[in-house]
Amino acid sequence: MIKTALVMCLALAGCEATPTTFEVSAKSASTQQIETALARWPVSTPGAMGAIKRPFFATIHIAGKRTTASGMLEYHNARDFRITAATEMGAVLFDGRVNWAGVTVLRSLPGLDKNIVEILLKDMSRAFELPPSLEGLSYRNRKATLQKTLADTHRYTWTFDPATGVLMSTDVDLGILDTLRVEFKSYNARGWPEDVVVTRKARFLDVSFSFTDNNVVQGEMPHSARGHADGDVQQ
């Protein structure tokens, strides 16, 4: 009897030491929190307002070189946006967009390989990608995790804070030893990502963005003010 009881205790102890994973019900409190947080992400309204314009500061590490920049993200959605970044001296570091035609590098600083800019823009598109649904959401180690393979054939893993519902990170499996890691460090008053770090070690890419708009969205300014703010960024 004592031996049997000891075996059972050891078995139970082993079970308790193993992290538990379980599916979250479709409308649990945590799922509702996540749905609410995702619904607050920026979404462009078609029509007169045009793109949402978000100014930023960035620190960019590419191929062993470090650059600081400031610029503008003109955002419609994850597959339709434009990023213009300038150096501290005011020279255009790069100007590129993503839309139905794919990635287009409009301008880049002499000496900056356009292929690197294309990679960065593609990775930013993946960074902005949100799950099409929360089906399959599960808890593990006090985090809510969701994995899905999207139309681009890559596996995405989104990790949420179940207490607040906000997206904490996105990991995209791009190949053997090639993972894109996106960390959402903070959110602004609107519930939009404020501090974002994009890392892809296989490409020696590490970029941190700090968006500075908070409650002011330039896409909502009067037309005359928008024209002044855009400067020579527009084509």
In a domain, 145, yes or no: yes
Q: What is the mean pLDDT of residues 178-203?
A: 96
What is the spatial distance between Cα 84 and Cα 165, in angstroms, rounded to a whole number? 31
In a domain, 10, yes or no: no
pLDDT at 68 over 60: yes
What's 182's DSSP letter? E
- CATH number, domain of 229, equals 2.50.20.10
Q: Largest Cα–Cα distance of the chain, in whole Å?
A: 86
Q: What is the mean pLDDT of residues 118-134?
A: 95
In a domain, 146, yes or no: yes
In a domain, 151, yes or no: yes
Encode pLDDT of 208-227 as tens digits: 999 998 754 434 333 333 33
In a domain, 9, yes or no: no
In a domain, 6, yes or no: no
Instruction: Say what the pLDDT of residue 139 is.
Output: 86
Instruction: Say what the pLDDT of residue 49 is.
Output: 64
pLDDT at 161 over 90: yes
Task: Answer yes or no: are the C-beta atoms of 212 and 57 closer than 8 Å.
Answer: yes
CB neighbours of 206 closer than 8 A, spacing ≥ 6? 60, 61, 197, 198, 199, 200
What is the spatial distance between Cα 220 and Cα 211, in angstroms, rounded to a whole number? 16
Pick from 158, 153, 151: nearest CA to 137: 158
Structural domain count of the chain? 1
For 66, the domain range is 21-233
Q: Is 70 left (phi over 0), alpha (psi -120 to 50) or beta?
A: beta
Q: Which residue has the higher pLDDT, 213 or 33?
A: 33
Pick from 96, 99, 92, 100: nearest CA to 120: 96
In a domain, 8, yes or no: no
229 pLDDT tier (thresholds 50, 70, 90): very low
In a domain, 15, yes or no: no
93 phi/psi in degrees, rounded to 5? -75, -50
27 pLDDT tier (thresholds 50, 70, 90): low
